[in-house]
Chain A
Amino acid sequence: DTVLTQSPALAVSLGQRVTISCRASKSVSTYMHWYQQKSGQQPKLLIYSASNLESGVPSRFSGSGSGTDFTLTIDPVEADDIANYYCQQSNELPLTFGSGTKLEIK
């Protein structure tokens, strides 16, 4: 199985830029996707195929990477961005998710 590793938490100041990383245990090409999950809500797709912004998602969000190293960038961070962020690979079955990164405000 492809294991996805994320940092557990990040603290950032409002208005600043933050990058959330996801490392895959083997190459997933660009078959990496990012989700945001706010407390008590279902996940929401932000970025698909590494760098494509899902319709309706603010342009403050962007994604990059290929192979094993991927990043989700939020610039600038707003208070509404406080959430857990998950990466997910679809290069091979089983589909796997990272353990999530909790974004906190300093």
Chain B
Amino acid sequence: GQNIDQPTEMTATEGAIVQINCTYQTSGFNGLFWYQQHAGEAPTFLSYNVLDGLEEKGRFSSFLSRSKGYSYLLLKELQMKDSASYLCAVRDGNYQLIWGAGTKLIIKP
């Protein structure tokens, strides 16, 4: 079956750096997405990786290793507003999006 694994919850300190990991096993691969979801709100797009390597976008970076079935989202200079759930989603060989359960990130002052 297809599977996306992420830690359920992580805690980090304001101003620090945090890395949220995502491992996947899917039938085929056509890209990996990261979304941010604040409590009670809709998911919003953060990043997309289809080739191996690091994609940097401001304070957020996303890394992909297709051979390892692994990605991470790196958040730098954490701010209180970064407290949210971070969803990893993989587009499989049939171009369907498979979603992880999300990682709840708690930022402490």
Question: Are A and B genuine complex partners?
Answer: no
> Hey, which bits of chain A sit against chain B, CB under 8 A?
none
Task: Report B's interface with A, CB cutoff 8 A.
Answer: none
